[in-house]
Structure 1
Amino acid sequence: MPYLPLAAEERAEWDSGSQPLARNSNREKKPLIMKIGRLPCVLLFVLCVVLFITYIKWKPRKEQALDSSDLQSKDTNDIGRLSSKNEIFYGIMFDAGSTGTRIHVYQFSRTPSGAPNLDHEEFRALKPGLSSYADNPLKCAPGINELLDIAKKEIPQNLWASTPLVLKATAGLRLLPGEKAQKLLDMVRELFKASPFLIGKDSVSIMNGTDEGIFAWITVNFLTGSLTSHEKKHSGMLDLGGGSTQITFYPYSKNTLTSSPPGYITEFELFHNTYSLYSHSYLGYGLMSARLAIMGGEEGKALKEGEELVTSCLTPEHKTEFKHAEITYKIKGQKNDEPLYVSCYKRVLAVLGGKVERSKEIPNLFFYAFSYYYDRAVDAHLIDPELGGSLKVKDFDMAAKKRM
């Protein structure tokens, strides 16, 4: 079984207007195993950095087409140099996830080498996710503008025009029909254009799942030192979001490179080294989307009046409600002759059957897991909420058996 050190991630989010916005001002946490304070939205840290160092050059294999034009330098002689002439400069990153929209305002300083040094991060978050406004994109405007006002307060006015503003949407928008997702992006793009910040052609876009996994892998291995030391083995990355889940690792086995399904291996250059990573995103298998599927619901489809979802994962006749993507589903437990764990496990296997690729190399690797992996481990009292911890996959299974 792979080990899963779980690192605390700042996930505080509230509905706009109902409670104060979540704050994050670089408070330190000390997860077990990793000598890192915390891993807040790890892929976004990398995204913001590469906005300035413009260093990564993607070389997708075969049909894999990564949309990363916004990460590439047009002049190869400028690779690694900052786009700003100021000693202090800023970047704004919006993370449009399936369960909420978050803003990260980064303050950088120039180092003697020309690379950016992250001095400060301001983080705020709002619920619900952007995808909740699919039927009325205009309703997302107040929340987006509220977050933009946060950026205005954090950044000196004389630097607004030179501060890049980017929104990357993840599984929430990937799950929407193309036309609805595009209308949301267009709405956000218009709001960004009306702001005083620097907007590029690709400032508002949907990030594909492979990019999401690879950026998180880069961050984890940069922070643990394996990208700068040949003596350290690379760690894998597991990220469980609301709408999708990602797995990314560096294959040490040639068999993994040659036998993996098409599109699972991506090659890229980073800091003068070439990496071939196994990376795949399972859309629709994030925590919230998977729960809905296991209970028999359909993504984005409300139940009819008086209709209920009947599931073998709740005690018989128990009734509750489940809210996902602004749709509330009525749920009822199903009668069965088997123990609850057994009946629920069978249902999970039926949903996942034939849809998950199992690499033989995975059980021998070391992974970092975060997002909902961390939250569920805390809920099950498997790890300390402040320190994180180290687990095996079977620990989740044992915790489920105890609870059911």
Structure 2
Amino acid sequence: MWLSLGWASAPPAYGGLILLPPSRYMARVGDIEATDTKDSTLNYGIVVDCGSSGSRVFVYFWPPHNGNPHDLLDVKQMRDQSRQPVVKKIKPGISMLATTPDQASHYMHPLLSFAAAHVPVTKHKETPLYILCTAGMRLLPESQQAAILEDLVKNVPLEFDFLFSETQAEVISGKQEGVYAWIGINFVLGRFDHEEEEDAMVTVALGGQTESLVRKRTVGILDMGGASLQIAYEVPSMEVFSSPQQEESAKSLLAEFNLGCDVQHTEHVYRVYVNTFLGFGGNLARQRYEELVLNQTSVQHRLQGQQIGTTAETPFLDPCLPVGLEDTSEREGQTLHIRGRGDWQACAQLLHPLLAGINGSQASLTSTYQAPIDFNNSEFYGFSEFFYCTEDVLRLGGHYHAPSFARAAQDYCSLSWSVLTQRFQEGLFSPHADQHRVKYQCFKSAWMYQVLHKGFHFPLDYSSLHMAQLVYDREVQWTLGAILYKTRFLPLRDLRQESSRQAHSPWLRLFVYNHCLFLVCVLVVLLAIMLYLLRLRRIHRRQLRSAPLNLLWLEEVVLLPGQELGP
């Protein structure tokens, strides 16, 4: 069953990056070199990510396809002469033009001018441009979305000579964004290269196929931002659903697509589970937790006459904050006074009910359909909050080990706020750690732990999870996956052109050969004629030299009647 990438989903929170050991990937060190724009064989592509807070333009390039129909285009991010990625960002987001859609092309002008300055002018007409809008635009009514896109489609071609049509400006769903991110990460990691190696392999069963495929194991991704949480991973085996309702629920969360250039080939068919949970990001989870505590203390106050949390003298003792930290939280006109008591295990227990979702909504880690994960043959990378929680303060980023993380988080929570403040001022934490991180590290580490092990059911002894930030010292955005997917048919076009040339080449060689033979024959005939005329001329001259002089003289004299020859 083929499923579209266009089903709507809640907006994801992407911004996470990956960090990998450089020794394993030295073959790609050349990626950081400046792009040789003088190379006329290079092709270019442009993707504009129109997000909620701003828009960014990315310029990519790739050499001619290698001719192997099983290989993808070798797409890389363009770099300028200083080896910096060709990226430009502007603020605010394009969704701010909801009431003035006729300004959309004007809004886009700085980004496209920037891209046009880096792509060789001779390549503009063949450079595809994709304008893809995400979370901010998804929140607008469809009529306003359409008005903004219409202005872009109408006016951008008047100023820029890129390859651009109405199908290349769209509002993508959260599901599409998640799939593109999954594609980008696995492409950079080389998981779409299917040559036989010692890397872990996986057997994939595809719908409608009689034989299973054995290929490289792809990686799953976990991303936790401030507002939302997202997970995406390949589902290699067909699942038998327990009910029609479960199967229907799974349809909206599974995407099966062919990343290869030929739909007849199944080497690059992938079935990916993608789900986004709005309200499960680190910051919104803290707000939900405070609301839960405020409701509980209000109930206790009404029933038992207790004053917990109502004044600074009777604060709520929060196990999710460092010992001695005093804080207040205002929700719905009520003020909750809080004092930290630093009990990480108690904090984790208090957070467990939040996994069920928000007021019974469908966003739930405990009741939403989750495709099965083969934890014995899988690998995941955690981004954003997963990385920050393990690295910025605890300095455990990289390979994740649940017992070590739990001990470090528990030790951190048990420290007093004064000690943590002093350590922060002395620069003992990561340079990326700010005071907000130090303050809420106890809560966020407990929330991350619950999400991972109670929500997604990762075993405590799972050994294939990496908390990451960069890949080869560079960002990997979902836009890379987008252009890989959008340009997936280009290699087939080149292969067909090459095949056509090869198919006609025998006739072409015969045609050229016959013409050459005809020309040679004509030259031979002309040469023979010239030689024959020269020979006649020489014979005639020889006869003239051997004739008697008197005969020659008589032949030239004409006598009139009555004339005589005289002296």
TM-score norm. by structure 1 comes to 0.59
- Counterparts of residues 30-49 of structure 1 (less than 5 Å): 31-32=20-21, 35=24
- Distance (Å, rounded) in 2 between the aligned partners of 1:290 and 1:105: 33
Question: Shift of the alpha carbon at 1:103?
Answer: 0.8
- Tell whether 2:381 aligns with 1:361: no
User: What is the aligned partner in structure 1 of residue 400 from structure 2?
Assistant: 391
- Counterparts of residues 3-402 of structure 1 (less than 5 Å): 31-32=20-21, 35=24, 87-113=41-67, 116-118=73-75, 120-121=77-78, 122-134=86-98, 136-137=100-101, 143-196=107-160, 197-227=162-192, 228-229=194-195, 231=201, 232-240=216-224, 244-252=228-236, 254-255=238-239, 261-263=249-251, 264-271=253-260, 272-273=265-266, 275=269, 277-282=271-276, 284-285=278-279, 287=281, 290=284, 294=288, 317-318=327-328, 334-335=337-338, 341=347, 345=351, 348-349=354-355, 351=357, 355-356=364-365, 357=368, 358-361=370-373, 363-364=375-376, 365-371=378-384, 373-383=386-396, 389-391=398-400, 402=413
Question: Shift of the alpha carbon at 1:164?
Answer: 1.2
Cα offsets for 1:62-81 (capped at 9, x unmatched): xxxxxxxxxxxxxxxxxxxx
- Distance (Å, rounded) in 2 between the aligned partners of 1:229 and 1:206: 36
Cα offsets for 1:327-382 (capped at 9, x unmatched): xx999755489869469726743645662334453655321233554455443444
Cα offsets for 1:162-204 (capped at 9, x unmatched): 2111111223322334344334434444553343122122111
Mark the CA change 1:337 to 1:287 in structure 2 (over 3 Å): closer, same or farther: closer
Whether the 8 Å CA contact 2:45–2:129 is kept in 1: the answer is: yes
- Distance (Å, rounded) in 2 between the aligned partners of 1:234 and 1:213: 15
Q: CA RMSD in A?
A: 4.6
Whether the 8 Å CA contact 1:129–1:172 is kept in 2: the answer is: yes
- Distance (Å, rounded) in 1 between the aligned partners of 2:335 and 2:92: 25
Higher helix share: 2
The secondary structure found in structure 1 opposite 2:20 is coil
TM-score norm. by structure 2 comes to 0.44
Amino acid of the structure 1 residue aligned with 2:115 = A
Mark the CA change 1:206 to 1:9 in structure 2 (over 3 Å): closer, same or farther: closer
- Distance (Å, rounded) in 2 between the aligned partners of 1:88 and 1:393: 46
Cα offsets for 1:5-35 (capped at 9, x unmatched): xxx9788xxxxxxxxxxxxxxxxx9624994
The secondary structure found in structure 1 opposite 2:355 is helix
- Distance (Å, rounded) in 1 between the aligned partners of 2:150 and 2:277: 23
Amino acid of the structure 1 residue aligned with 2:258 = E
Question: Shift of the alpha carbon at 1:160?
Answer: 1.9
The secondary structure found in structure 1 opposite 2:400 is strand
Which has the higher mean CA deviation after the structures are superposed, 214-223 or 288-297? Answer: 288-297
- Distance (Å, rounded) in 2 between the aligned partners of 1:146 and 1:344: 49
Whether the 8 Å CA contact 2:230–2:276 is kept in 1: the answer is: yes
Whether the 8 Å CA contact 2:256–2:272 is kept in 1: the answer is: no
Question: Shift of the alpha carbon at 1:138?
Answer: 6.0
Mark the CA change 1:131 to 1:286 in structure 2 (over 3 Å): closer, same or farther: farther
Higher strand share: 1
The secondary structure found in structure 2 opposite 1:98 is coil
Question: Shift of the alpha carbon at 1:235?
Answer: 1.9
- Distance (Å, rounded) in 2 between the aligned partners of 1:235 and 1:400: 27
Q: Name the % identity.
A: 23
Whether the 8 Å CA contact 1:170–1:209 is kept in 2: the answer is: yes
- Distance (Å, rounded) in 2 between the aligned partners of 1:213 and 1:152: 28
Whether the 8 Å CA contact 1:213–1:239 is kept in 2: the answer is: no
Whether the 8 Å CA contact 1:241–1:372 is kept in 2: the answer is: yes
Mark the CA change 1:182 to 1:373 in structure 2 (over 3 Å): closer, same or farther: farther
Whether the 8 Å CA contact 1:243–1:287 is kept in 2: the answer is: yes
- Distance (Å, rounded) in 2 between the aligned partners of 1:294 and 1:279: 27
Uncovered stretches (5+) of structure 1, i.e. residues with no partner: 1-7, 12-28, 40-85, 298-310, 321-328
The secondary structure found in structure 2 opposite 1:176 is coil
Uncovered stretches (5+) of structure 2, i.e. residues with no partner: 1-13, 29-39, 79-85, 202-215, 292-315, 414-440, 443-567
Higher Cα Rg, which structure: 2
User: What is the aligned partner in structure 1 of residue 423 from structure 2?
Assistant: none
